[in-house]
Structure 1
């Protein structure tokens, strides 16, 4: 039975792994707000639906939902210090997840898979800006080599599935994503949500805000709702196996210090801000070129950083008891 017959007019069944996370929630939001199309059925899954490190559970999940398209977001993720401590775990779990998802998609004849990579996969020692051609041109930063290599292998598998089976499996490479439904854990989360949580607590408790590191490293941050809209464009329009970087421009890169100042302003924090230079800075910069994206979408409008930070801070404050932290 054809998929269109099975589901009426819905001839696309889009399965989103990691659907309860930061990016998955953002995609769900923009779909509900009008970005979805009449012929699309969206299925958002979380870790409660299946253990994707288990091949049999993953295959059963795919058999149950019969997707035509997959957005693969599920991963073991963490901030700098957790990565440094558990490189082996990050490697093994992510390799299992990625292989199970891609192979199940292949076996079921899924039309298209879009996996989510990260700019940390790029070589540590490189020239800037980095672009899509440079993924495999040297080892990644030593702090998170397990996660980085596991993500790189998705690109290798995508190419292999295309060469051997003509599968349209591709990947996107976002820069630092932030927004509502992020993981705001101070110890294990990423830099921006961790700073938002720290600022909230410092304000509530009347204490200083302590920022780990010097504040000098620079990052390109992309708002989760902007990334969600770009994911949907990739799903519908992007026809390459080669990955594509999804990012704001190089001119929109900010330092951790500037990011902290934006959060302080958004939350109206009036206390002292201290930079703890005994903590590691990690990689100084990972400046990425979005020139390939701009060739496709020259007029795409990114949410201004200060506005996106304000919306995220407001959401966190309003949903403090429910937020992941």
Structure 2
């Protein structure tokens, strides 16, 4: 999309994916693109007037919508109504204000957790609405699914180019490394770092919660950022698109733990606490649609991406989200 100046507003711009996008665009430095990364401190997007004021301030032509109310498993389970209502308000305000101010394109971020709880694998883009999501996070899931419904509505009624992407498990620099609410890879990195500070002898033991056998597809945040930019610039369908590594690149939790241990040069041994729940054994997603468009896209090798994330955490622990 060369030619006219693009002013791209990124909501949720200080999070894992927003920071990754910022890293990539700063390397590219495209003269016809102006990027604005906003945080929750800049505007409460669940408030209509604050959302309008934000758009009036920046006059975006394009929007990457990452902002959402998010939380861990137990927070979701006890606050499903809050997750539903807050995210419905955020998404409606961003999409409706985009329409009212003439935004050319909106790319919103969904999640693989919104897919039906009972489904066949691999999951693909056509299956999002095929049944209820997992009951633990139905509020968040239905609010996210409604973005896809709204995108279709804005397209049919107003001809808008609003679309959405569905990433697999994302990790990388600027992740949430909190012991209470982080996902598996940042949790492994944080716990390994804390252990090594106390003991990195051959007698040290690092306990992985669960059997380590479940399989997951992990995407490095900088790879996801590149794909987000491709969607913004080149993908012009309202139909959602899964942004995931290949099915063959699915790895076990034990492999992830071993890669983290190697990146830290951990001298002890890994043990597995099988009394802890494993969760779903696999959540395989098909990236056939992505590969149809980008057959030659090269994902960062998993071990390399883990090593880069570990190095970032060691250098930035004092300012990381803990």
TM-score, normalised via structure 1 length: 0.94
Distance 2:135 2:273 in 1: 22
Structure 1 gaps, min length 5:
1-8
Matches within 5 A, 1:243-258: 243-258=240-255
1:28 matched to 2:22? The reply is yes
Alpha-carbon distance, 1:10 to partner: 6.3
What is the RMSD of the two structures over their aligned residues, measured on CA atoms? 1.6
Alpha-carbon distance, 1:158 to partner: 0.6
Name the count of aligned residue pairs. 317
Change in CA separation of 1:93 and 1:277 when aligned onto 2, cut-off 3 Å = farther
Q: Secondary structure at the match of 2:63?
A: strand
1:180 matched to 2:173? The reply is yes
Distance 1:260 1:99 in 2: 39
Cross-structure match for 1:3: none
Distance 2:46 2:317 in 1: 31
Q: Secondary structure at the match of 2:19?
A: helix
1:64 matched to 2:64? The reply is no
Distance 1:93 1:212 in 2: 32
Distance 2:69 2:192 in 1: 26
Runs of 4+ in structure 1 displaced over 6 angstroms?
A: none
1:294 matched to 2:291? The reply is yes
Distance 1:145 1:209 in 2: 34
Matches within 5 A, 1:186-197: 186-197=179-190
Change in CA separation of 1:146 and 1:277 when aligned onto 2, cut-off 3 Å = farther
Distance 2:189 2:21 in 1: 22
Structure 2 gaps, min length 5:
none
Distance 1:150 1:212 in 2: 30
TM-score, normalised via structure 2 length: 0.94
